[in-house]
Structure 1
Amino acid sequence: MAATWSKKQKAFLLLLAVFLMLTIVGRLSYSKQFHGLLCAARTFHHFVTSDTNGPVIPNEDGVTFWTENGKPKKSMPRKISGAKAENIQRQIKLKKALKPPKPSKEIRIELATGGKAQRLPQAIIIGVRKCGTRALLEMLETHPQIAACGPEIHFFDKNYKKGLQWYQNQMKPSTPDQITIEKTPGYIIAPEVPELVYKMNKNTKLLVIVREPTTRVISDYTQLKEKSTSWLSKATFEGAVLDGNQIRSSYKAVQISIYVKHVLNWLKYFPLSQMHFVDGDKLISNPLPELKAVEKFLGMRDVISSDMIYFNATRGFYCMASEFNTKCLNSNKGREHPYVSPELMNKLQDYFRPYNEKFFKTINQRFDWP
Structure 2
Amino acid sequence: MSTFRKIAEDFALMGKRLLERAEKTWRLATSPLRELPNVVIIGTQKGGTTSLYHYLCQHPRIGGALSKELHYFNLEYKKHRLWYRSNFDLQGNRISLEATPDYIFDENTLWRMSRLIPEAKLIAVLRDPVSRAYSQYNHVQRGMGNWGADPRSFEEAVQADIRFARENRVIGRSEYEDIFHSYVRRGIYAPQIRRFKKVYGDQLLVLRSEDLFSDPNGFVNSIFEWLGIEQRDLQITQKYGRGNYKKEVPMRKELEDFFEPHNRKLYELLGVKEWWSY
**Interval containing the TM-score (normalised by the shorter chain):** 0.7 to 0.9
Higher relative contact order (CA 8 A, sep 6+): 2
Secondary structure at 1:170's aligned position in 2? coil
Q: Which whole-Å CA distance do the structure 2 matches of 1:231 and 1:139 have between them?
A: 30
- Aligned partner of 1:237: which letter? F
**Structure 1: distance between partners of 2:262 and 2:245:** 27
Q: SS at the partner of 2:142?
A: helix
What letter matches 1:292 in structure 2? N
CA–CA distance in 2 between the matches of 1:267 and 1:131?
Answer: 19
Residue identity (%)? 26
Match of 1:345 among 247, 252, 262: 252
Aligned to 2:193: 263
Correspondence for 2:239: 329
Change (3 A) 1:299 1:338: closer
d(CA) in 2 for partners of 1:361, 1:347? 23
Please tell me whether Structure 1 or Structure 2 has the larger radius of gyration of its CA atoms: 1
Shift of 1:230: 7.6
- Tell me which amino acid in the other structure corresponds to 1:353: E
Whole-angstrom distance in 2 between the partners of 1:167 and 1:213? 31
CA distance in 2 between counterparts of 1:288 and 1:338 reads 24
Matches of 2:76 and 2:55 in 1, distance apart?
27
Residue type at the aligned position of 1:253? Y
Tell me, yes or no, if the aligned pair for 2:48 and 2:209 is still in contact at 8 Å. Answer: yes
2:77 to 160, 170, 174: 160
The question of whether the paired residues in 1 share the 8 Å contact of 2:142 and 2:149 is answered with no
Of 50, 58, 68, the residue aligned with 1:142 is: 58
| AA in 2 matched with 1:126 | I
User: Distance in 2 between the 1:348 and 1:185 partners?
Assistant: 22
Cα distance in 1 between the residues matched to 2:152 and 2:246 = 14
Q: Equivalent residue for 1:299?
A: 228
Count of aligned pairs: 230
Cα distance, 1:162 vs. partner?
1.5
Deviations 1:112-164 (A, max 9, x none): x9xxx621001100110000000000011111111011331111111222222
Contact 2:47 2:126 in 1 (8 A): yes
SS at match of 2:82: helix
Q: Output aligned runs, 1:1-370, within 5 Å.
A: 118-149=34-65, 150-173=67-90, 175-176=92-93, 178-227=94-143, 233-242=150-159, 247-250=162-165, 252-271=182-201, 273-301=202-230, 303-305=231-233, 308-309=234-235, 319=236, 328-330=238-240, 333-337=242-246, 339-341=248-250, 344-370=251-277
**2:88 and 2:96 in contact (8 A); partners too:** yes
Q: Deviations over 1:228-247 (max 9, x none)?
A: 6889633221222135xx95
Deviation of residue 183 (structure 1)? 0.6
| Contact 1:152–1:182 under 8 Å retained in 2 | yes
Paired position in structure 2 for 1:44:
none
Residue 367 of structure 1 and its aligned partner are, at CA, apart by: 4.9
SS state of the match for residue 157, structure 1?
coil
| TM-score (normalizing by structure 2) | 0.75
For residues 197 and 222 of structure 2, the distance between their equivalents in structure 1, rounded to whole angstroms, comes to 21
2:11 corresponds to: none
- Give the Cα–Cα distance (whole angstroms) in 1 for the partners of residues 226 and 271 of structure 2: 16
